[in-house]
Amino acid sequence: MLGYILRRCAMLIPVILGVVFIVFVMMYVTPGDPARMVLGEQAPQEDVDNLRAEMGLDDPFLFQFGRYVYKAVVHGDIGRSYITKRPVWDELMTAFPITLKLSALAMGIALLVGIPCGIVTAVKQYSIFDNIVTLFALIGISMPVFWLGLLLILLFTVKLAWLPPSGFDSLAAMVMPAVTLGLQSVAIITRMTRSSMLEVVRQDYIRTARSKGQKESVVIRKHALPNALVPVVTIAGIQFGILLGGAVLTEIIFSIPGLGRLMVSSIEMRDYPMVQGGVLFIALAFCLVNLGVDLLYAWLDPRIKSQYT
């Protein structure tokens, strides 16, 4: 198992380098001058040229990329913001915990609602409950995040005055953002759990367990569910990574000072170090989530653990 973990960690290196290179290329060819953004449109061109030289923006592209990778690997320095002048790492550590909390709440809602609904709809296939849940799952997958967020604000803030329209500093303020971000994941996990359970409950070993006189609840919980959860865990891991990097609209709608909102403002201000550091951070978090999902397979399925060892 340790060897597998080390191999997977080694595989992260080219992935992260590829992500950083792609971001560098995109920021390099994007119109706009960071030095001009910092000094303002009325600044003399001589001052802008001096600031560009100070920032290292006049250096060749490959030299800039190599310098960034060297500082990040050797010194753990991923740059300093052009706008705030603070280290990028400090800015990310301020915003990321908020995004992580929001994504974790949304993922918790998705798992607590999606898995039970998927199990029940598979066991009671073509029932009224199955049809209702399937309809709501299709609506959840199709509904845009920004539209759902605005509807929730209109209903629970404007009409009913139950929940605050913005912020993320209290339990009441967390409800609407978490539901907004997690609804699509609820629908996806519900559909995946239902599909996986339907495939498992038709297997021979499930019929054998039933023929031995075991209760249906025991058959589902002990025999069917562990095998059905393997693809669900895959989707849940992917969804959690998507939530970490895709909470931008939710954070903007509800004025949450998270990583997504920080990235948007940094892109608008041409704050290259902040954008590069943010994308690098999200890519690393996504890779670590996938590694955790792979290790979780071994706990769910002993056959997979034997392959690791």
Q: 114-137 pLDDT, tens per residue?
A: 999 988 888 888 889 888 988 888
Q: Element (H or E) spanning 267, and its range?
A: helix 259-268
The fraction of the chain above a pLDDT of 90, given in percent, is: 5
Let me know: does 156 contact 176? Beta carbons within 8 Å.
yes
Q: CA neighbours within 13 Å on the CB side: how many for 206? A: 20
Please tell me what DSSP assigns to residue 165: S
Q: How confident is the model at residue 304 (pLDDT cuts 50, 70, 90)?
A: low
| Nearest CA among 229, 220, 221, 177 for reference residue 201 | 220
pLDDT tens readout for residues 220-265:
877 788 778 888 888 888 888 888 877 888 888 888 888 888 888 8
Structure tokens at 197: 């359970």
Exposure string of 172-185, with b = 16+ CB inside 10 Å and e = fewer, is ebbbbbbbbbbbbb
CATH of 89-306, one of 3.10.20.600, 1.10.3720.10, 3.90.1750.10, 1.10.1740.10: 1.10.3720.10
Look at residue 80 in the predicted model and tell me its pLDDT. Answer: 82
For the chain, give the mean pLDDT: 82
pLDDT tens, 152-181?
Answer: 899 898 888 888 888 777 888 888 999 988
Distance of CA 184 to the CA centre of its chain: 13
Residue 282 near residue 244, CB atoms below 8 Å? yes
Residue 300 pLDDT: 64
Is the predicted pLDDT of residue 305 greater than 70, yes or no?
no
Give yes or no for a contact between 165 and 157, defined as CB atoms under 8 angstroms apart.
Answer: yes
What is the pTM assigned to this prediction? 0.81
d(CA 198, CA 203): 9
**Domain boundaries along the sequence of the chain:** 1-88, 89-306
Q: Does position 308 have pLDDT exceeding 70, yes or no? A: no
pLDDT tens-digit map of 47-78? 778 877 877 777 788 888 888 888 887 777 78
